[in-house]
Homo-oligomer: A and B are copies of this chain.
Amino acid sequence: MPSNPRIAVDAMGGDFGPSVVVPGAVAAARQEQLDLVLVGDVAAIEAELAKLDTSGLTIERVAASQVVTMEDKPSDVLRRKKDSSIHVSCRLVKEGRADGVVSAGNTGATLACGIFILGRVKGVDRPALASILPTEKRPVILLDVGANVDAKAHHLFQFALMADCLARTVLGYENPSVGLMSIGEEEGKGNVQVKEAYDLLRQSSLNFVGNVEGRDIFKGELDILVCDGFVGNVALKLSEGLASSMANILKRELKRTLLSTLGTMLAMGALKRFKRLLDYAEYGGAPILGLESIAIVCHGASNEKAIKNAVVMAARFVGNQANQLLIKALSENKDLTRFSRGRAETAETGS
Chain A contacts to B: CB under 8 angstroms:
135-136, 146, 149-150, 181, 183, 190-191, 194, 213-219, 227, 229-231, 233-246, 248-250, 253-257, 259-260, 262-271, 273-274, 277-278, 350
Contacts and interface: CB of A to CB of B under 8 A. Distances in A.
Counting chain B CB atoms within 10 Å of each CB, the highest count among A135, A191, A266 belongs to A266
Nearest to A149: B191
A230 to B, nearest CB: 6
Interface of A is mostly: helix
Contacts of A217: 238, 241-242
B263 A268 contact: yes
Given A238-B235, A238-B238, A262 B266 contact: yes
B260 A269 contact: yes
B270 A257 contact: yes
Contact of A267 (B215, B231, B254, B273): B254
Given A260-B267, A273-B253, A234 B233 contact: no
Given A214-B236, A250-B274, A270-B250, A191 B263 contact: no
Closest 4 CB pairs of A and B: A263-B266, A214-B238, A263-B267, A215-B241
Contacts of A255: 270
A254 B183 CA distance: 33
A260 B253 contact: no
A258 to B, nearest CB: 10
9 contacts: A146-B183, A149-B191, A183-B237, A194-B230, A215-B240, A217-B241, A253-B273, A263-B266, A266-B267
Contact of A239 (B238, B256, B278): B238
B257 A269 contact: yes
Contact of A227 (B190, B213, B234, B268): B234
B250 A260 contact: no
